[in-house]
Amino acid sequence: MQATISRSTDLVNGGCNACPTVKTTSYNLILRNINTPLEDLDVPSLVMAVVLKAGYRQELRIDFMEEYVEFKKEDKAIQLLEEYGVFVYRSGSKEMKSAAKYPGNEALFNQVNRILTDIFELEEVTFEIEK
């Protein structure tokens, strides 16, 4: 599967005389000819965008001691928990821990593909950053 990531940088004014102008970067994932905005260029944002396009549904679950996001598709359920800055993807007896950010895009894309193939059992995605 092929995915393209586009990036745009804008100067945003806070709206008042005391607020400074801030440089912001926005990312979009183009997968199967559908443009999806990303919260950030990190593991949780990329994984979420790809699995939702693959037919998974996302639900916030709140239990007595923990809160997590659950991705469901047919009889498969994957939990995403955040524990002390580490993201944990859990499916049955399989578990994979991940940082949100990685140094360099190649390391980031490799980690996303490990989660997609090992935990979600989806095909690998070839990410390309638009120049």
In this predicted model, what pLDDT tens digit does every residue of 64-85 receive, in sequence order? 888 899 999 999 999 999 988 8
Asked if 5 and 27 touch (Cβ cutoff 8 Å), the reply is yes
pLDDT of residue 14: 73
Provide the pLDDT for residue 46.
97
Report pLDDT digits (tens) over 46-62.
999 999 999 999 999 99
- Across the chain, mean pLDDT equals 92
Q: Provide the whole-model pTM.
A: 0.88
Distance separating alpha carbons of residues 117 and 1, to the nearest angstrom: 12
Q: What is the pLDDT of residue 66?
A: 83
Secondary structure letter of residue 1 according to DSSP: -
Exposure string over 79-114, b if 16+ CB within 10 A, otherwise e: bbbeeeeebebbbeeeeeebeeebeeeeebbebbbe
